[in-house]
Structure 1
């Protein structure tokens, strides 16, 4: 995907969805999972990912656990209960957005 602007507004939802599926993940792991799942179409930069993770943590949607792995400290992010509720809300909003955009760009999906 040449334009990263199309998915920037969905980054929070992407992060929440992945954490909902994988219990806990560290930042680089999230970026790699997105790249893998999209076959390289979406590449999340550290400059976009970490501010989003910090914001979600500050809003109470994520807990952070620091673990020592191979003599390195690694921050793992996990959804809080509130984060799980936010994930459901964000996924619903995204599905509605996709439905609306599909109707705009493809006449066969238009209502009535």
Structure 2
């Protein structure tokens, strides 16, 4: 999709959803999973991902585990209990937004 600005407001929800489904993930893994799920349509840059992860961590929605992998330290992100609850809220908000946009864009299908 040429207009990635449409996705910016959904980045938090995307991250929370992936972590909810996968228990824990590291940053690069998140970017690759999004690319895979969207068949390359959505590419999350490190410049967008890491500030979002740090913000979610600061808000108490994520915990970070550091593990040594191939002589390198890797940060794994996982949801806190609060993060799991917030994931439900964010997914409900997104579903409502999609429904509203569908009603505007294609009222016959709404």
TM-score (structure 1 length as normaliser)? 0.97
Residue equivalent to 1:6:
6
* 1:41 aligned counterpart, secondary structure: coil
Deviation sequence 1:57-102 (CA, Å, 0-9, x none): 0000000000000111000000000000000000000000000000
Matched, 1:38 2:7: no
Aligned-residue RMSD, C-alpha: 0.6
Superposition TM-score, scaled by structure 2 size: 0.99
Structure 1 runs of 4+ aligned residues shifted over 4 Å read none
Equivalenced residue count is 110
Structure 1 unmatched ranges of 5 or more = none
Offset of 1:52 from its aligned partner? 0.1
